[in-house]
Amino acid sequence: MKEYANCKSDSSLSGGSFPILSFRAETYCCDPHHGGLRGTVLSTVTRRNNPVKRIAIAAVLLFTVVVPAMAKTHKDVFNVSCTTLWPAVKDVLRNSGKYGIIGIDNTEMTASYNIGGSLGGKRINSLVLNAQGSDKCELQVQTAYSGLIHDDAGDFKKRVDESLAKLTPPQPAPAAKPADPAPAPAPKQ
């Protein structure tokens, strides 16, 4: 502990210097007559803020505003029923190797999943299928980010198109009508 020149006792009995303690930016006198550690604040030192800390705080505040502004809902309509589209969506989520499934609800036809890795960062996306009549289905994908580097909704739609083509059996071409039989030759007379 240091002695502080201005930290003198108010009592004429002891008449000496008392040790001081520094906590954070304030210096306290340890004179028992001043109340010990809860004693008089002798000086307040203003410290410079760490510039790295200020930059980090500014970045966090910026991302709290910017990231939600980039979140979008993308809507695509498929010319198949939702009961046909849903297996293709589940196939993409389970078998493409690109997505981590957070949750799937078969009755509501909704799913939440994450995508991305270490460089692009993990992003959480959600989707829902909405029936539009009996023969059309709308796929809504809510993405955390879509930009120049990542197009989560577009990439997902491409994979669903590929899976749908794979899972949907090709429609058989209508059977060709047999050719009209040649007219019977007229009988000779």
Q: Which residue has the higher pLDDT, 6 or 140?
A: 140
**Cβ distance 102 to 85 under 8 Å?**
no
Instruction: Name residue 21's beta-bridge partners.
Output: 28
Q: Could you read off the pLDDT of 23-45 as tens digits, one per residue?
A: 455 555 555 555 555 545 545 55
Q: pTM above 0.95?
A: no
CATH among 3.30.530.20, 3.40.50.970, 3.40.50.720, 3.40.50.300 for 70-167: 3.30.530.20
Radius of gyration of the chain (CA): 38
Q: What are the beta bridge partners of residue 22?
A: 27
| Domains of the chain by residue range | 2-44, 70-167
With a CB cutoff of 8 Å and minimum separation 6, the contacts of 73 are 140, 141, 142, 143
Q: Which of 29, 28, 26 is nearest to 8 (CA)?
A: 29
